[in-house]
Amino acid sequence: MANVTLRNVHKTYPGGFEAIKGVDVDVGDGQFCVLVGPSGCGKSTLLRMVAGLETVTGGEIDIGGRVVNQIEPADRDIAMVFQNYALYPHMSVYNNMAYGLRNRGMAETEIKTRVEEAARILELAPMLERKPRQLSGGQRQRVAMGRAIVRQPKVFLFDEPLSNLDAKLRIAMRVEIRKLQRRLQTTSIYVTHDQLEAMTLADILVVMNGGRVEQIGNPLEIYQKPATTFVASFIGAPPMNLMPLRPDETKSRFAGDSRANGKAGILGIRPEDFVISHETIAGGVALDLTVEAIERVGAETFIYGARQHEEQGIAANPGDLPPGELIVRIPGAIAPAIGERIRAIAPREKLHLFSADGRTRLEA
Amino acid sequence: MQKQSIFQSKLLPYALVAPQLAIVLIFFYWPAAQAVLQSFLLQDAFGLSTSFVWFENYVELFKDPRYFEAVVRTFVFSFAIAFSSLSFALLLAVMADKPLRGGMVYRTLLIWPYAVAPPVVGVLWIFMLHPSLGVLSRYLRDLGIDWNPLLNGDQAALLIILAAAWKQVSYNFLFFLAGLQSIPKSVIEAAAIDGARPMRRFWTVIFPLLSPTIFFLLVVNIVYAFFDTFGIIDTMTRGGPGKATETLVYKVYTDGLLGGNLGSSAAQSVILMGIVIALTAIQFRFVERKVTY
């Protein structure tokens, strides 16, 4: 049991490439922290630095009140689950789990108790004598988990542990991991590029981009109040609709609060905050669209529409979307036909406003 | 599913494999058959008469204590050469596997000795360790070692083993390096996190994962030490001093070509052939099956 604190952590490779550009994260004892971001954002590097597999070139990593920058992985009292599981192919499942305990000189009887307990929790008991190659992907994943839990370490580190599993198993294992972590109360750091995994697992969510932290907070908070346009488009699927506003537009649109500062900005509206209606909405946004594509996924439907002309002062050219395109999410499977003209409206309290560079969120 | 080609003519497939078969028959089976036949024949000293003696050549051979000395010597040489070249190559490969500045150059240089022909290897080592010409011999004598492989049989044997092992290090190195690089990095990292120190990591994870490579190389090296050391022995010691460096292959040469005892020489060849077949069979059988993890 320990907290993990990263203080102004930097990583610069010998070639001069700066992978981590100053990260501060504080993970409390027993918390589940998820690092999420697109590939190449430095999340895996950061995790490997906590594990001791990459050197730290600046700042401090503190595990349980001890700065571990110069400490070997073996002595950090951590366990890691790798993306490809990294099981020892020549050892049985039992020996895979027992290996770390034997290295620490634990008595065979104690090892047996711990391995059997882990095998029981993970439903691996009938497979203890098998070799990894005789197991399915999901079983291998569980052995990798077992290897981590038998050690009873201070911290669990997960490096995209579910990305090699098929979609159904991934969801099942996601729930398993969360239950297991709640039960063991072990501080965990989990790396993923899947924002859904991040949202569902995290106590603390760290959104990373380009070696920097974009936002830290609890997942719902980040979803409701993304700090930058990057976070706004990365968290939530489909992504938030982003549209640039001219200075006069911010002024008129947000009249009456501090956001009407007369500067250019970016307006963000989540697809699910729209309602299809023929009315206009006082203080809100109403956009006229032509339906171009429809995705029905059962419980909800996504409408991809194009705005034909400037509507209520909002220029075409939204940030991440192709010019003039807008995504609207509606519940149920009843949707307008392709080519139909509809109006999507969103109330004022659902509007997000960012500075023109997308780096700052503006609050009322 | 089996791959099967359909030929219009029944003769065409035979015609297509005929050249290959002809080569195998003329250059492998025919000489081998000749050797087997020869091993049943006995010629008089002048080659004027030949008689068919069945297994007499073999019986003579097995009664000859010097043949058994050669057998033992060959096995000692083979294991010494295989063991020393394998272990040294493994050491080099483990070191070369680490991320190094200029690692490619280093690796390439380590592979070069393999391109040197065995007799040239012999000559190189002669120049270094010849009792009166050798550079290293002088240092050895300065250290108070009475170094003279031309007279001392054990030293001559050591010299052959050194030269033969040196030549094989490159080949082994190449396979070990490839073997090491095929071990997923994350497995080694997992072992590091699991608290295994570098030495323990090597013996409990890396070494077992290399075992198929090691076994393959062991067989290859034994075959090499059995047969391909001929050039080295011939240039360095010619089997001497006495018979101290006469291996089975060299004995085939001295008895047959120099001693003119073709029958015995052929019988020895046939026995060697049996050993090669056995080694190859072991390799095919076990490389795929037993030494997998």
**Residue A298: C-alpha distances to residues A295, A331, A333 (Å):** 9, 9, 6
**Cβ atoms of residues A138 and A165 within 8 Å:** yes
C-beta atoms of B194 and A82 within 8 A: no
Helix, coil or strand: residue A354: strand
A220-232 in b/e form (b: 16+ CB < 10 A) is eebbeebbbbbbb
Express each pLDDT in A163-215 by its tens digit: 888 888 888 888 988 988 888 899 999 999 988 899 999 999 999 999 999 99
Is a pLDDT exceeding 70 seen at residue B188? Answer: yes
Candidates A85, A87, A99, A150, partner chain B, best to mutate (most B CBs within 10 A)? A99
Which of A51, A90, A151 shows the shortest C-beta gap to B209? A90
Angle at A149 between CA A66 and CA A93, to 5 degrees: 135
Yes or no, beta carbons of B191 and A131 under 8 Å apart: no
User: For residue B171, is pLDDT > 50?
Assistant: yes
Partner-chain contact A88 B190, CB within 8 Å? yes
Distances from the Cα of B146 to the Cα of B118, B143, B149, B162, angstroms: 27, 9, 9, 18
Q: What is the pLDDT of residue A289?
A: 84
pLDDT of residue A318: 42
Per the DSSP assignment, residues forming a β-bridge with A9 are A23
Q: Tell me whether B197 touches chain A (CB under 8 Å).
A: yes
Percent of chain A at pLDDT > 90 equals 37
Taking 60 as the threshold, does the pLDDT of residue B2 lie above it? no
Q: Which residues of A touch B191 (CB under 8 A)?
A: 88, 99
Dist. CA A140–CA B229, nearest whole Å? 47
Of A188 and B124, the one with more pLDDT: A188
Q: Which of A258-272, B81-95, B167-181, B240-254 has the lowest mean pLDDT?
A: B240-254
Mean pLDDT of the region A52-60: 90
How many residues in total does chain B contain? 293
The residue assigned the tokens 């006229």 is: A288
User: Does the beta carbon of B208 lie under 8 angstroms from any beta carbon of chain A?
Assistant: yes
Section B251-266 average pLDDT: 77
Measured between CA atoms, how close is B108 to chain A, in angstroms? 24
- For residue A191, what are the β-bridge partners? A35, A159
Q: What is the structure's pLDDT at A98?
A: 92
Nearest to A84 among B184, B191, B193 (CB): B184
- Partner-chain contact B200 A103, CB within 8 Å: yes
Q: Which two three-digit tokens encode residue B73?
A: 């010597």
- What is the rounded average pLDDT for all residues in chain B? 81
pLDDT of A34 strictly over 90: yes
pLDDT at A316 over 50: no
B208: nearest CB among A84, A90, A147: A90
Q: B108: exposed, middle or buried (C-beta count within 10 Å: 0-12, 13-18, 19+)? A: exposed
The DSSP-derived string for A24-78 is: EEEE-TT-EEEEE-STTSSHHHHHHHHHTSS---EEEEEETTEE-TTS-GGGS-E
A4-12 and A18-27 beta bridge pairing: antiparallel
Distance (Å) from the alpha carbon of A26 to chain B's nearest alpha carbon: 22
Domains of chain A plus CATH, in order, are 4-229 (3.40.50.300), 238-355 (2.40.50.140)
Q: Which of A86, A89, A151 sits opposite B189 (nearest CB)?
A: A86
User: What value of ipTM does the predicted structure carry?
Assistant: 0.81
Say which CATH topology domain B55-290 has: MetI-like fold (1.10.3720)
H or E element that contains A204: strand A204-209
| Rounded distance between C-alpha atoms, residue A137 and residue B190, angstroms | 18
pLDDT (mean) for A148-163: 90
Residue A284: CA count within 13 A, CB half-sphere: 19
Rounded average pLDDT over B156-160: 83
Taking alpha carbons only, the member of B208, B168, B146 closest to residue B80 is B168
State residue B51 phi and psi, 5-degree precision: -125, 150
CA of A217 vs chain B CAs: smallest distance (Å): 29
B273, B32 Cβ separation under 8 angstroms: yes
d(CA A85, CA B151): 60
Given this model, what pLDDT does residue B142 score? Answer: 80
**pLDDT confidence of residue A322:** 46
Task: Inform me whether the C-beta atom of residue B278 falls under 8 Å from chain A C-beta atoms.
Answer: no
CB contact under 8 A, A79 and B193: yes
Is B156 within 8 Å of chain A by CB? no
| Predicted pLDDT at B9 | 78
pLDDT of amino acid B23: 92
Size of interface A-B (CB pairs under 8 A): 62
Two structure tokens written together for B195: 């608290």
Query: Mutating which of A53, A77, A189 best tests the B interface, going by the most B Cβ atoms within 10 A?
Result: A53
Contact A103 B195 (CB under 8 A): yes
Chain A residue at shortest CA distance from B195: A74
Separation between Cα atoms, residue A307 and residue A315, nearest integer Å? 9
The mean pLDDT of B111-138, rounded to a whole number, is: 77
pLDDT tens-digit readout, A71-125: 988 888 999 999 989 999 999 999 999 999 998 888 999 999 999 988 988 888 8
Which of these ranges, A101-105, A165-169, B103-107, B218-222, has the smallest mean pLDDT?
A: B103-107
Q: Do A100 and B195 touch (CB under 8 A)?
A: yes
Q: How confident is the model at residue A32 (pLDDT cuts 50, 70, 90)?
A: very high
CB contacts of A87 in chain B (<8 Å) are 187, 190
Residue A359, phi-psi category: left (phi > 0), alpha (psi -120 to 50), beta (remainder): alpha
Q: Do A74 and B204 touch (CB under 8 A)?
A: no
Q: Give the confidence band of A226 by pLDDT, cuts at 50, 70, 90.
A: very high
Contact A74 B195 (CB under 8 A): yes
Q: Is A88 in contact with B195 (Cβ distance < 8 A)?
A: no
